[in-house]
Amino acid sequence: MTINIKERAKRCGELLARSPLDAEIKKQILDSLDQFTEGDLDRLLFSLEQEDTHLALLTSQLDHFDKQQNKGWDQLAKDQQKKAQEVVNDFSRQIERDVQSKISAEMK
């Protein structure tokens, strides 16, 4: 193998390490690298780079989605807390009015 081919083969190994491909498939590819033509190696490298790029994009999108979901849940929790406090305050005011009315009625 020439140096350029060795560098591409090394890059394929790096990309295969990050790939979600089955370990047995990765092993077969790595074991066969020395039998690949330069064209085969270029196609494999292109495919692995495309896979890596798409997986990185998917990871980024999922992270963004997760952050948005967490923000939504945080806001929902704050809204629920606020609503619960409003209900408690309304209930307290109603009890206070009822007590005041009872006291006024008893004083008459």
Question: And the tokens for 74?
Answer: 């945080």
pLDDT attached to residue 34:
87
Q: Break the chain into its structural domains and give their ranges.
A: 3-107
Region 70-90: mean pLDDT is 92
CA distances from 69 to 59, 64, 77, 78, 83 (A): 15, 9, 12, 14, 21
Say whether pLDDT at 2 is over 70: no
Contacts of 30 (CB under 8 A, 6+ apart): 13, 16
Answer yes or no: is pLDDT of 64 > 70: yes
What's the rounded Cα separation, in Å, for the pair 15 and 93? 66
Q: How confident is residue 6, by pLDDT bands cut at 50, 70 and 90?
A: confident
